[in-house]
Amino acid sequence: MAFVQQDEPFDDLRTLIANCPAADEDARARALLRQEQIALPAGELGRLADLAVWMASWQSGDAPHIDRPMVAVFSSAHQITDQGVSRYGMGHAREMTDQVLAGTGAVNQIAKAAGAGLKVFELALEEPTPDITKGAALSERDCASTMAYAMQVLEEQPDVLCIGVVGAGATTAAGAMALALFGGTPAFWAVAGSAVDDAEMLTAKAKVIGAAVDFHTGNLDDPLEVLRRLGGRDIAGAAGAILAARHQGVPVILDGFVTCAAAAVLHRIDKTSVDHCVAGSVTPRDSHHAILDRLGKRPILDLGLGLGDGSGAALAINILRAAVVCHNDLGRA
């Protein structure tokens, strides 16, 4: 997969999205045949069977495998935190990122338990995304460049990629994106995220989401414009990683509302572009359930986690491992 920015920065991205490789139907057929041969009554493995077949169809081999799982964490900050939408200020993005870099974050512990590598993408923390109620989050060139930079995670050659986001203000930006992409009300999409302490803060968050979409009205018909105007570097990075994984045949585990908003950009352009993705976990918030419904994704786990930093996706790795070993190693009928 080559990414060389053209005169119009989004042109190459549109080409990549339009030419997403399909799943390997021969591998899928072989996996389905293998499931029929397992010495268990049909359907007894439940969703484990479905996940194993899904893995096989994207990895294109005779047997699905998880040898090099990777968690990619995208880190950025958003100026909209100055409008009272979160108990965390822009400086908190630096603190959260440093915690993960030091190995003391929740995602670090869960990734370690899952035997997964972890890579942090710091995306200009010293230059927070501009206030999206007053201007665009990113220029077209900066958005495309960020997506291209995030594609480097595939240089690690993971065979499963988990994606999470840490920072401050990201769920507000993602809420504005969801409103632009799917409609609804600002108040509904404002309930995503855990950094809201009270009704007054929730009201402020909804106000910002509505104001951001209103400011950019007339320029939001293109999902890539939604991403660059309302998102930020963290969300653009997640979208770039998802797209790169598709072209490399790497299954993706999504985590959290923000990562799902990134996937939604690709989904609105081509509904099949995120077929290589599953949802690792779902937060307790209705907005996250709603965006998963719109993506056609059923979470593997529902444990009440509200982190979004990749922890839920990393937790799902061992469920996928169980699916893979049952598929590959159970006795034949």
Residue 328 lies in a domain: no
Residue 201 lies in a domain: yes
Residue 277 lies in a domain: yes
CA distance 299 to 285: 13
User: Based on the structure, what is the number of domains in the chain?
Assistant: 1
- How much is the mean pLDDT over the chain? 93
**Mean pLDDT of the 284-288 span:** 91
Residue 305 lies in a domain: yes
Residue among 258, 186, 189, 184 nearest 215 (CA): 186
The residue range of the domain holding 307 is 69-323
107-141 pLDDT, tens digit per residue, is: 999 999 999 999 999 999 989 999 999 999 999 99
Residue 223 lies in a domain: yes
We report the CATH number of the domain holding residue 165 as: 3.40.50.10210
Question: What's the pLDDT at 1?
Answer: 55
The yes-or-no verdict on residue 230 having pLDDT over 70 is yes
Kindly report the backbone phi and psi dihedral angles of residue 76, in degrees, each rounded to the nearest multiple of 5, phi listed first: -160, 175
Query: For residue 122, what are its two tokens?
Result: 């710091």
Question: What's the pLDDT at 7?
Answer: 64
Residue 293 lies in a domain: yes
32 contacts 56 by C-beta, under 8 angstroms: no
Residue 107 lies in a domain: yes
Kindly report the backbone phi and psi dihedral angles of residue 150, in degrees, each rounded to the nearest multiple of 5, phi listed first: -65, -25
Instruction: Provide, rounded to the nearest whole percent, the portion of the chain with pLDDT above 90.
Output: 83
CA distance 236 to 258: 10
Residue 28 lies in a domain: no
CA distance 135 to 105: 33
CA distance 162 to 216: 31
**Mean pLDDT of the 274-287 span:** 95
Question: What's the pLDDT at 269?
Answer: 97
Question: What's the pLDDT at 194?
Answer: 58
pTM for the full model?
A: 0.95
Structure confidence at residue 62 as a pLDDT band (50, 70, 90): confident
Give the orientation angle of helix 286-295 with respect to helix 256-269, to 10 degrees.
Answer: 30
Question: What's the pLDDT at 159?
Answer: 97
**Mean pLDDT of the 314-326 span:** 97
Report the half-sphere exposure of 289 (CA within 13 A, side-chain side). Answer: 8
